[in-house]
Amino acid sequence: KAAISSWASLRGDLPRTVKQTIEEIEQAGGGWTFAKLTIANAALRELSAA
């Protein structure tokens, strides 16, 4: 957990934004669709490119 926290702290608000995006998708209900997976994938790609 410490390593992840340290890594995330170096990336500003982006990790928090990605987490919020995924939480919003989960709260929308209806399970994981291809469209939801595509949105989550884009958010995670943005995070990994940072």
- pLDDT greater than 90 at residue 4: no
Range of the domain at 27: 2-49
The structural domain count of the chain equals 1
Q: What is the pLDDT of residue 16?
A: 87
- pLDDT greater than 90 at residue 48: no
CA-based diameter of the chain, in Å? Answer: 34
Q: Tell me: the pLDDT tens digits for 10-36?
A: 888 888 888 888 898 889 888 889 999
Q: What is the pLDDT of residue 35?
A: 93
Burial class from Cβ neighbours inside 10 Å (0-12, 13-18, 19+) for residue 21 reads middle
Supply the DSSP symbol for 21. H
DSSP state string for 1-50:
-HHHHHHHHTTTTHHHHHHHHHHHHHHT-S---HHHHHHHHHHHHHHHH-
- pLDDT greater than 80 at residue 9: yes
Coil vs helix vs strand at 14: helix
